[in-house]
Structures are given as structure tokens and as C-alpha cells.
Chains A and B, each alone.
Chain A
Amino acid sequence: MNNSAEFGSQSFVLLRLGERRFAVAATQISELVAPSRIFRFPNHTPKVEGVILRRGRIVPVCDVAEALLGKTLVSRRFYLIAVRHYRDKSEWVALPVSGECELIAAEMMAAGEADAPHVAGWISHNGEVIEILNIDALTPGGNGLSVPVEVDALLEARP
């Protein structure tokens, strides 16, 4: 990633999906990783392809290209691991991207009323106006979801 910090501006990660570029607030990004094996199991949630194992964590893979471009990605070069906020907790989600990512600094313009829910705002970079993505609106889960009791961490022995 290239870093070009500017005073008074915010940091964003630029990602590429097909021919288009999008931005995500850098504070929402955990890391960029090479694609790894996706584990799939039966479910009824669209947009979640499966899960990957990353640093001992199980991370859902959410293909956002279809929602943003109208088609799935043909080639995936990386997974951008982003933080997805739910009502009272946060989790990682892996977003397949088709090119290198870049860390930039830019001033954010707020989203307008006419913008789609997944648009958190806009930035201007190298003459291009780029959507800032609202990961929470773009990925499934959370809305009206009753979160079950946590089962993370080591298990207690069952009777």
C-alpha cells in the first residue's frame, strides 16, 4: 500500500472491483490477504459465499461486487478484511477484491439523501470521484437479528 497522508484529511483504502474503484475508511480495515480456501456449508443467507480461516478466526466472505457492479468478480487477487459493526459488537468480513489496494488521504464529502444506503460519502482522488462504502449496509446480517448467546472461546465440558 502507498501512503500519502495529508494534514486534516482522513485515511481511506482504495480497492478495485473489476474496472471500478471504491473507498473504505481505513479505520474499518484490518488487513489485505491472499485468497485462501473457502469453506461452504448449507445456509439461506445470500451474499455470503462461505468462510475462510484467518489467524485462527473464522471469517465470512461477502462478495459485494454483485451489489456494486451487477456481476460477480471474475478474478480475485486479495481479500480485504474489514470490520463490520453490528448492534453491539463487531466482526471481521472478507471482501474479495480484484486488484491492489492503496492507502490514501482525502477529504470526505458526506453522502446525500439520494445516495444509496451503501454509500457513506465521496472522495475526490486523482480527478476521480470515488464512493466511500458503508460496509455495514453492504454486507448481510444484523438487521433485527437476535444474537444468540456467545459460544466463542474454549468450551466447557458438556454433561
Chain B
Amino acid sequence: MRVAAPPSKASTARSEQIILFRISGQLFAVSSASVQEVRSVDSLSGAAMEMNQPTLRKVRHVLRRGDRALFVVNGAAHFGLPASSAGLVFVLRKTRTALLVDGIDKMATMTRLQSLPLAYCHEERQWYRGLTALDQSVIPVVNPEGLLTPEELALLDASLTPLALPEESTAEGMAEPE
């Protein structure tokens, strides 16, 4: 599936296209501009390599993209939700992260992003860019850079060093034009 290109500034100067998706039944949003590709889990089966970092159970697979390693974060494990059957992977732009999700609900336009209330004072401040109200619901907007901390990335990099990653074929991808 091709991810919709970000809207032109002329048409929606003060709005943002978002993808609404589910993990273990919980609805989240992410900016479509931060999603480079949406792929089915099946299409990655040959390209992903298993990882076993005991202190970071949310990352079980890594993909190679050129000279870069992309760490596949299990969304349910990251957010502390019950395990679910992931069907899709979001390859996230400008990060070294891909996110396993159950499925996409729909695309929508967000016109207001409210910062996370200050009452929330733990890791969730890194997880979310904020909250948005859509169709009388409140949806957390995921911060792609909050899926893995710099410390976690360093830990994963360290455990990756001895591994030889298979190069992923881009033939079956659903890449959005850069």
C-alpha cells in the first residue's frame, strides 16, 4: 500500500494527515509524513533477522536498509498492551525504527494537536507528540522518535555488531516516494 503523500501547504496550511492504526485494540495515530513505508509482515519474513536482546524484548527483528539497520519494535510490547497479531509494519522516516501494528483504521486530518497533559509524567511523554480530538474521541499521536531511546539504540547496535544482516530486497516494498 502506498502511503499518501503529505498534503501541499497551499491546501491545508494548518492541518496534518494522520494514519489511525490499532495495536491490541487500542487506537493510535501517527503523522503520515513520518511513515515512509507500510508493509505487510509477511513481506518482511525473508528480510528480517531475529534478535534476542533479553533486556529489550520489544525488539525481536532487525532489517537492513543499505548500510543501516532498522529495528522492528513490537507496538504491543512497547506500549505495555496485551500481545496481538501484528499484520503490518510501519517503516518510520528519519528514524532507525519500524513499528509492528495490527492494522490501519483509516486516514484522517488532524487540525489540532494538544500537548500531553502535564499530569502524565513518565515514559509516555516520550511516546506521544500529544493528543488529538477526532470524531468526539481522543487519540494519542505517536512520536516515532520515542519508540527507542538513544540508550536502547546503542544497546541494540552493540548486540548487532557481530551479525551479518541480509540485505532486504526493495522489490516487494510499498515505498512512498522520497
B68, CB-defined interface residue at 8 Å: no
Task: Report chain B residues within 8 Å CB of A156.
Answer: 13-14
Using CB atoms, name the residue of chain B closest to A93: B119
Instruction: Give the nearest-CB partner of B32 in chain A.
Output: A158
By a CB distance below 8 angstroms, the chain A residues around B15 are 154-155, 157
Chain B residues with CB below 8 A from A86, complex form: 118
What B residues does A153 contact at CB under 8 A?
112
A145 to B124, CA, bound (A): 12
Instruction: Report whether A145 and B138 are in contact in the complex, using a CB–CB cutoff of 8 Å.
Output: no
Query: How many chain A residues touch B (Cβ–Cβ < 8 Å)?
Result: 39
Contacts known (A155-B111, A157-B14); A145 close to B133, Cβ less than 8 A: no
Which of A56, A60, A154, A157 contacts B117 (CB under 8 A)? A60
Q: Give the CA-CA distance A147 to B7 in the complex, in Å.
A: 30
Whether A152 pairs with B138 at a CB distance below 8 angstroms is no
A51 to chain B: which residues have CB within 8 Å? 117, 131, 138
Taking the nearest CB of chain B, how far is it from the CB of A157, in angstroms? 5
B174 at the interface (CB under 8 A from A): no
B121, A157: Cβ atoms under 8 Å? no
Assess whether B13 is in contact with A152, with CB atoms less than 8 Å apart: no
**Residues in A whose Cβ lies below 8 Å from that of B118:** 84, 86, 89, 91, 141-142, 145, 147
- Cα–Cα distance between A43 and B121 once the two chains are bound (Å): 9
Evaluate contact between B115 and A155: CB separation under 8 angstroms: no
Q: Which residue of A lies closest to B114 (CB)?
A: A58
Of B79, B110, B117, B125, the residue contacting A91 (CB under 8 A) is B117
User: Does B123 lie within 8 Å of A44, measured CB to CB?
Assistant: yes
Bound Cα distance A39, B140 (Å): 10
Q: Which residues of A contact B46 (CB under 8 A)?
A: none
Distance in angstroms from B35 CB to nearest chain A CB is 12
**In whole angstroms, how far apart are the Cα atoms of A159 and B110 in the complex?**
15
Q: What does the 1/0 interface line of A59-81 toward B look like (CB < 8 Å)?
A: 11010000000000000000000
Is A45 interfacial (CB-CB < 8 Å)? yes
Evaluate whether A39 and B124 lie within 8 angstroms (CB atoms) in the complex, with A152-B115, A156-B14 already known: no
A45 to B117, alpha carbons, bound, how many Å?
A: 11
Q: Would you call B16 an interface residue if the criterion is a C-beta within 8 Å of the partner chain's C-beta atoms?
A: yes
Q: In the complex, what residue of chain B is closest to A90 when comparing beta carbons?
A: B118
Is A158 a contact of B31 with CB atoms below 8 Å?
Answer: yes
Interface hub of A42, A57, A140 (most chain B Cβ within 10 A): A42
- Is A41 among interface residues, defined by CB-CB distance under 8 A? yes
Q: For residues 102 through 131 of chain A, which have their beta carbon under 8 Å from a beta carbon of chain B?
A: none
CB distance from A117 to the nearest CB of B (A): 16
Can you list 15 A-B contacts with CB-CB less than 8 angstroms, sorted by A residue number?
Answer: A42-B26, A42-B81, A42-B124, A44-B80, A58-B133, A58-B138, A86-B118, A141-B120, A148-B115, A148-B125, A150-B115, A151-B115, A151-B129, A155-B111, A157-B14
Q: Which residues of A contact B (CB under 8 A)?
A: 39, 41-45, 47-48, 51, 53, 56-60, 62, 84, 86, 89, 91, 93, 139-143, 145, 147-148, 150-159
The list of the 5 closest CB pairs from A to B, nearest first, reads A44-B122, A42-B79, A39-B138, A43-B124, A60-B119
